[in-house]
């Protein structure tokens, strides 16, 4: 059989890194093919090359036996190759049907297209209302829009980039049903993931990438997790040391009945949020993104203030009205989810980025920035947290995502906070750095600090947290002891908290 | 009654250059690009149209020359902002300064004599209706063209696929690029269109409104047009209404000066600028309104990743 | 074969310095082409434009005299530009500063008081700041775009000046010219030498350059403003208040422009007339960019821009070329500079063949 898609020796380098190094793979019609690898292994780059959104430096791509010479997304679509991005390629300000109209050829007839969308989405068991604006949709619904958009083209090859990272466990089951139905109709599927269990459940073949190179091909259903993991990670998996926690008597961070309106048209309203984080423990906040995490973390960090001071207590002190700087004076530190542009200033050197939050640690004297001390501080962070960088003079934007994250985490930890807020600590960070960052968080909490981790990775939360909270639709669940709960319970809470409050929840419940 | 008709028609005429310039800028901004150089493009349009008239070319050719001059000038901005990823504020300012310099340079030989203005057309029969006729059917053709452009732009933006593509590029060029649209090319077209419209606005000033050549004759109308786009919260109908409001203000102010109202003429002349500030302040209070139709990528440089 | 544009891993330090030089060279080149197209010998005209004006002591004096307000204002504006605060109404702030300073000079009860100059300095700075405080307040408290407000206020300032010199402040002994009476001697900077116009106000500019350097390169407040400009979310993350950047940025520009206005009336002008500035407030924006918002760069940029003004005047007198050439050159220079900046962050590369 002629492969639907064949890659021969694809190489792609960006300044400083080789993202793909002589990658070859072959996918048959109707096959569900996994591209498995850790963050930073080069999966996303490879997918962009297949789709034509990025150009390979060298190598060849064949579709149905014919070579694709000059590649771009338009050519992909004419060949029947469609892609569902990890971060959706949807426009929030326009409706579902308008979004889809942008991707389909032919006359511009929104009415007819809407009918087609309804029919097709019903057929594959993922109902969507074509006339709703995308910004009113939940993340799961947005993914359906993406998939329906691809299916309208009757694709021969569908690429999905980490499709489950935004879904509840229950929604994943539904998605897999749809994908199997598609494959049985002859469509090839490229499934990009770093989650072993999913790949083993769904995929026929897996190509494993590590550091941009293919480290093996396997039949996941016949391989053990250990074999696959070894191909993915290489030598051996780092081990975590999580000692039992000894929480402080009083919480260091306390939230009492916090409600706040959505900040803009894309935001989520927070309703009656209460939580406590004690010294010596890590509390995890689980949830599908877009359910109020961003709003809650902005209110906790002080980037957004609250008129009622007593809704947020830092070390017992009413702090809702305090600015980010004033909260830092009370011993709070914060690692945000966006590194470039929020946690660090992209064009500034690392020593300058040290001043950003460490200026209180003696880096500013007589209203002047002490460059020598700032440089020393940055150098200490670089050494202690093994940041790969050309010294304190390197600009933040020149660092890889993982190294910049290590720098930001290191900077915040060097300030010896009593309370640490961390959002998505290991997003896009390679496996070694991720383990290192998780271990530092555990160590910090065991030294007596209160740590609140917001993450969409349930595995990560289960690995390091003592207690778990679930946020859904702007409401936060009561705490669950990690050792007494499981993924299914958390997954259900992701859809059940705030039950029946708004349309968004009802739709999520159908998942 | 005659005074009312005079004020009404004066308002429509004074609003016409603002409508051209602001609608053009609206299209540019909807694509996510901020071109602050309206003043420069309008001056180029004004100078070239005027030059064409004194060179003896027919009026339609002169107006077209103005429009093309505006478009050509906008290409300079396009190259900087879209190809060289320059700070769009700086590139727009450069264009404003450059346009005012080049137009003044060209205009040194124009002399200070008025030309025969663009003729008004009397729409057969309709223009003879009392009151209504002089109010609506005795304008020069460019007044009607401005209204037609409003209809065309509204239809394009909200009823065609091209308009949808333009608006969504303004929201997220990254996404547009990801699904395969040539973002830079489309933005160039939008910038060119904005230049064309600004050129028309300038041409209207020098061959119909004034009609003579004075250095820097736009006197801030380019900047007021920019303010109009904000005032209109990026919606065409509100641009139209805003332009009429400002046109009305200008005319009332001129009427006031003509009637010899006992306030210094400078104070009256300052009114449109003052009003611009006040209107901006009022509009800026409603953040919800501002963000609803705001092109989210406005003034952010975009480069397609390779 | 196609050239490929590639992002540099680190911004190029060499290009950072080379870009303004390349842009200046290209401007000269474009100027030669323009002159040739107009039927003038390019080399002779370039000489007349850029060399002849500063070929004498008087020329040098005029050069510095015109560079001084440009550099002073650009220093003030750059403080705001670094934080993405776009004060483009320095021209208006200059006019208001000049009006206030002249008012003090004309109406202070004792026209011989040695306090006159310091008072006028304060009046100029204060008035410039007050004029800039309007957009600052509107931006910080009312969320209103400062670009448009500063510009509108410039038109208003121009009209206010026109009103004063045509009306209440007109010199009764001035043959009906729209201008005020001449300032008393004690209200004027005494030139270094009465043959030339250069006066001690250039020391104000020199001090401003040093303060600007200290502020932007060394001070914590300057650091906070550069964070606000480069990454507003990072500023909020760190707890730096946006409104303080807005106020500092606009007031710095207003103060500098107001002082420049004072130095103009107390220096070469000696009185108010409807045209007191050949566009210093706008040209200073270009100076700030050419100088890369950096104190010493601004000094060089100001000298270059001042030369453009002088050259424009000279070729107008000697060759009959229009003065508008100055603005064309300003525009071209800024265009080339902005384009050249691209190569600080990107480079052209030939595709490699595997």
pLDDT at A509: 35
For B141-166, what is the mean pLDDT?
A: 96
Residue A490 structure tokens:
């958390």
Tell me which residue of A254, A256, A253 sits closest to A311, measured CA to CA: A256
For C325-338, what is the mean pLDDT?
A: 86
pLDDT of C87 strictly over 90:
yes
Q: If you classify domain A251-510 with CATH, what class do you get?
A: alpha beta
Substitution target from C327, C336, C342, C347 for chain B, most B beta carbons within 10 A: C327
Low-confidence ranges of chain A (pLDDT < 70): 16, 235-239, 264-266, 496-511
pLDDT tens for B23-56 read 999 999 999 999 999 999 999 999 999 999 999 9
pLDDT at A506: 34
Q: How far apart are CA C293 and CA A353, in angstroms?
A: 20
pLDDT at A510: 36
pLDDT of C301 strictly over 60:
yes
pLDDT of C1 strictly over 70:
no
User: Coil, strand, or helix at residue A173?
Assistant: helix
User: Coil, strand, or helix at residue A158?
Assistant: strand
pLDDT at A496: 65
CB-nearest partner of A344 from C219, C223, C234? C234
Q: Strands A332-335 and A32-37: what pairing?
A: unpaired
DSSP H or E stretch at residue B15: helix B2-30
pLDDT band at B19; cut points 50, 70, 90: very high
Report CB contact under 8 Å: A55, B178: no
pLDDT at B10: 93
pLDDT at A499: 45
Question: Is A251-510 the same fold as A5-233?
Answer: yes
Residue C203 structure tokens:
């020391």
Domain chopping of chain B, boundaries: 2-292
Tell me which residue of C155, C134, C246 sits closest to B278, measured CA to CA: C134
Tell me which residue of A473, A476, A453 sits closest to A463, measured CA to CA: A453
**Do the Cβ atoms of A70 and C351 come closer than 8 Å?**
no
* CATH fold for domain B2-292: ABC transporter involved in vitamin B12 uptake, BtuC (1.10.3470)
For C332-342, what is the mean pLDDT?
A: 87
Residue A198 structure tokens:
């999913």
For C303-307, what is the mean pLDDT?
A: 93
Q: For chain C, which chains pass the contact test of at least 3 CB pairs under 8 Å?
A: A, B
pLDDT of B280 strictly over 50:
yes
Report in angstroms the alpha-carbon separations of B135 from A35, B2, B148, B237: 70, 10, 17, 21
What is the least distance, in Å, from the CA of C339 to any CA of chain A?
A: 19
For B13-22, what is the mean pLDDT?
A: 97
Q: Does C159 touch chain B (CB under 8 A)?
A: yes
Tell me which residue of B88, B59, B61, B53 sits closest to B212, measured CA to CA: B53
Domain chopping of chain C, boundaries: 1-40+321-354, 64-292
- The fourth-level CATH superfamily of domain A5-233 is P-loop containing nucleotide triphosphate hydrolases (3.40.50.300)
pLDDT at A238: 62
Domain chopping of chain A, boundaries: 5-233, 251-510
Which residue reads 């209207």 in tokens?
B204
pLDDT of C339 strictly over 60:
yes
Residue C238 structure tokens:
């760190």
**Predicted structure pTM score:** 0.85
Mean pLDDT of chain B: 91
Tell me which residue of A158, A161, A195 sits closest to A180, measured CA to CA: A158
ipTM of the assembly?
0.87
Q: How far apart are CA B95 and CA A46, in angstroms?
A: 42
Q: How far apart are CA B203 and CA B44, in angstroms?
A: 9
**Do the Cβ atoms of B184 and B83 come closer than 8 Å?**
yes
Q: For chain A, which chains pass the contact test of at least 3 CB pairs under 8 Å?
A: B, C
Report CB contact under 8 Å: A91, B306: no
**Do the Cβ atoms of B32 and B187 come closer than 8 Å?**
yes
User: Coil, strand, or helix at residue B176?
Assistant: helix
Residue A168 structure tokens:
């509840």
Q: Please give the full DSSP string across A345-392, using - where no structure is assigned.
A: -TTSBHHHHHHHHHIIIIIEETTEE-HHHHHHHHHHHHHHTT--SSST
Q: Which of residues 98-137 of C touch B (CB under 8 A)?
A: none
Chain C contact set for B227 (CB, 8 A): 148, 152
Burial of A207 from C-beta contacts in 10 A (0-12 / 13-18 / 19+): buried
DSSP H or E stretch at residue A475: strand A475-476
pLDDT band at C265; cut points 50, 70, 90: very high
pLDDT at A236: 59
User: Coil, strand, or helix at residue A400?
Assistant: coil
Q: For residue A351, give the chain C residue with the closest CA.
A: C223
H helical segments located in chain C: 13-37, 42-46, 57-81, 90-107, 116-142, 146-166, 201-213, 220-230, 232-238, 242-264, 280-290, 295-318, 325-345
pLDDT at A265: 64
For C281-309, what is the mean pLDDT?
A: 91
């Amino acid at each position: 059989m002629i492969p639907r898609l064949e890659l021969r020796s694809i190489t792609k380098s960006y300044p400083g890194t080789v993202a793909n190094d002589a990658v070859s793979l072959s996918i048959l019609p109707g096959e569900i093919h996994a591209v498995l690898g850790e963050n930073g292994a080069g999966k996303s780059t490879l997918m962009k090359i297949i789709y034509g959104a990025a150009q390979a430096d060298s190598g060849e791509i064949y579709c149905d036996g014919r070579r694709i010479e000059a590649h771009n997304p338009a050519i992909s679509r004419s060949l029947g190759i469609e892609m569902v991005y990890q971060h959706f390629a949807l426009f929030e300000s326009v409706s579902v049907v308008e979004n889809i109209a942008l991707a389909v050829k032919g006359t511009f007839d929104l009415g007819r297209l809407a009918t087609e969308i309804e029919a097709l989405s019903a057929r594959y068991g993922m109902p969507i209302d074509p006339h709703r604006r995308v910004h009113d949709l939940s993340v799961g619904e947005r993914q359906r829009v993406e998939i329906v958009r691809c299916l309208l083209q009757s694709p021969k090859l569908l690429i999905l980039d980490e499709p489950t990272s935004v879904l509840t466990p229950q929604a994943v089951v539904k998605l897999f049903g749809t994908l199997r139905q598609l494959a049985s109709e002859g469509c090839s599927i490229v499934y990009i993931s770093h989650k072993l269990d999913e790949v083993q459940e769904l995929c026929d073949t897996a190509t494993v990438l590590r550091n941009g190179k293919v480290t093996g091909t396997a039949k996941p259903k016949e391989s053990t997790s250990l074999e696959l993991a070894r191909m993915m990670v290489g030598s051996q998996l780092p081990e975590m040391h999580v000692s039992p926690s000894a929480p402080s008597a009083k919480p260091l961070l306390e939230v009492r009945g916090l409600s706040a309106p959505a900040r803009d048209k894309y935001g989520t309203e927070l309703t009656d949020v209460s939580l406590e984080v004690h010294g010596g423990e890590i509390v995890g906040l689980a949830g599908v993104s877009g359910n109020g995490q961003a709003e809650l973390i902005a209110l906790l960090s002080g980037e957004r203030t609250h008129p009622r001071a007593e809704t947020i207590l830092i070390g017992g002190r009413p702090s809702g009205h305090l600015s980010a700087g004033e909260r830092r004076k009370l011993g709070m530190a914060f690692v945000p989810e966006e590194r470039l542009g929020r946690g660090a200033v992209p064009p500034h050197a690392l020593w300058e980025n040290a001043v950003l939050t460490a200026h209180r640690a003696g880096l500013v004297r007589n209203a002047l920035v002490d460059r020598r001390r700032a440089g020393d501080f940055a150098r200490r962070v670089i050494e202690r947290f093994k940041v790969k960088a050309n010294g304190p003079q390197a600009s933040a934007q020149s660092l890889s995502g993982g190294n910049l994250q290590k720098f930001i985490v290191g900077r915040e930890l060097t300030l010896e906070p009593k309370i640490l807020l961390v959002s998505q600590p290991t997003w896009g960070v390679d496996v070694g750095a991720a383990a290192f960052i998780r271990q530092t968080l555990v160590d910090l909490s065991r030294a007596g600090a209160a740590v609140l981790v917001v993450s969409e990775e349930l595995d990560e939360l289960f690995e390091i947290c003592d207690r778990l909270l679930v946020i859904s639709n702007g409401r936060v669940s009561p705490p669950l002891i990690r050792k007494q709960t499981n993924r299914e319970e958390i997954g259900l809470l992701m859809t059940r908290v705030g039950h029946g409050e708004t349309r968004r929840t009802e739709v999520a419940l159908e998942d | 009654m005659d005074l009312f008709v005079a004020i009404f028609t004066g308002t429509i005429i004074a609003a016409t250059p603002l409508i051209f310039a602001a609608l053009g800028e609206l299209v540019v901004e909807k694509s996510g690009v901020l071109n602050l150089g309206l003043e420069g493009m309008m001056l180029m349009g004004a100078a070239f149209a005027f030059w064409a008239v004194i060179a003896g070319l027919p009026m339609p050719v002169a107006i077209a020359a103005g429009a093309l001059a505006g478009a050509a000038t906008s290409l300079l901005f396009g190259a900087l902002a879209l190809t060289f990823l320059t700070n769009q504020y700086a590139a727009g300012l450069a264009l404003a300064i450059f346009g005012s310099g080049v137009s003044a340079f060209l205009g040194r030989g124009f002399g200070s004599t008025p030309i025969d203005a663009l003729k008004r057309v009397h729409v057969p029969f309709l223009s003879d209706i009392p009151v209504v006729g002089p109010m609506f059917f005795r304008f020069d053709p460019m007044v009607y063209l401005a209204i037609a452009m409003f209809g065309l732009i509204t239809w394009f933006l909200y009823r065609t696929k091209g308009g949808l593509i333009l608006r969504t590029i303004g929201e997220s060029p990254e996404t547009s690029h990801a699904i395969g649209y040539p973002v830079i090319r489309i933005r160039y077209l939008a910038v060119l269109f904005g230049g064309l419209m600004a050129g028309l606005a300038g041409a209207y000033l020098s061959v119909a409104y004034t009609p003579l050549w004075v250095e820097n004759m736009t006197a801030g109308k380019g900047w007021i047009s920019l303010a109009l786009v904000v005032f209109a919260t990026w919606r065409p109908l509100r641009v139209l209404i805003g332009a009429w409001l400002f046109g009305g203000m200008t005319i009332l102010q001129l009427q006031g000066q003509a009637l010899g109202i006992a306030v210094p003429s400078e104070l009256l002349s300052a009114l449109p600028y003052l009003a611009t500030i006040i209107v901006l302040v009022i509009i800026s209070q409603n953040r919800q309104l501002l963000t609803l139709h705001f092109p989210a990528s406005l003034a952010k440089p975009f480069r397609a990743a390779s | 074969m196609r050239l490929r544009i590639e992002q540099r891993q680190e911004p190029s330090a060499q290009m950072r310095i080379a870009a303004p030089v390349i842009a200046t060279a290209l401007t000269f080149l474009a100027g030669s082409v323009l002159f040739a197209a107009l039927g003038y010998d390019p080399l002779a005209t370039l000489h007349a434009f850029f060399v002849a004006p500063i070929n004498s002591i008087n020329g040098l004096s005029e050069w510095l005299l015109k560079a001084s307000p440009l550099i002073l204002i650009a220093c003030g504006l750059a403080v705001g530009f670094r934080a993405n605060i776009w004060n483009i109404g320095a021209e208006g702030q200059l006019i208001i500063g000049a009006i206030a300073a002249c008012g003090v000079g004309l109406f202070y009860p004792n026209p011989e008081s040695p306090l006159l100059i310091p008072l006028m300095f304060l009046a100029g700075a204060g008035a410039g700041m007050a004029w800039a405080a309007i957009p600052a307040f509107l931006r910080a408290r009312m969320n209103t775009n400062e670009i448009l407000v500063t510009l509108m206020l410039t038109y208003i300032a121009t009209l206010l000046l026109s009103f004063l010199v045509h009306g209440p402040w007109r010199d009764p002994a001035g043959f009906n010219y729209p201008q005020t009476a001449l300032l008393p001697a004690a209200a004027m900077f005494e030139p270094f030498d009465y043959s030339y116009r250069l006066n001690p106000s250039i020391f104000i500019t020199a001090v401003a350059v040093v303060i600007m350097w200290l502020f932007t390169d060394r001070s914590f407040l300057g650091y906070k403003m550069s964070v606000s400009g480069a990454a507003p979310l990072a500023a909020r993350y760190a707890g730096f208040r946006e409104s303080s950047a807005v106020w500092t940025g606009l007031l710095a520009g207003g103060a500098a422009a107001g002082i420049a206005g004072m130095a103009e009336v107390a220096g070469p002008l000696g009185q108010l007339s409807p045209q007191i500035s050949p566009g210093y407030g706008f040209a200073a924006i270009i100076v700030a960019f050419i100088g890369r918002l950096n104190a010493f760069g601004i000094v060089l940029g100001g000298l270059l821009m001042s030369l453009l003004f002088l050259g424009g005047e000279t070729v107008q007198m000697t060759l009959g070329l229009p003065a508008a050439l100055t603005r064309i050159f300003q525009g071209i220079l800024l265009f080339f500079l902005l384009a050249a900046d691209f190569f600080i962050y990107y480079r052209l590369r030939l595709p490699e063949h595997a």
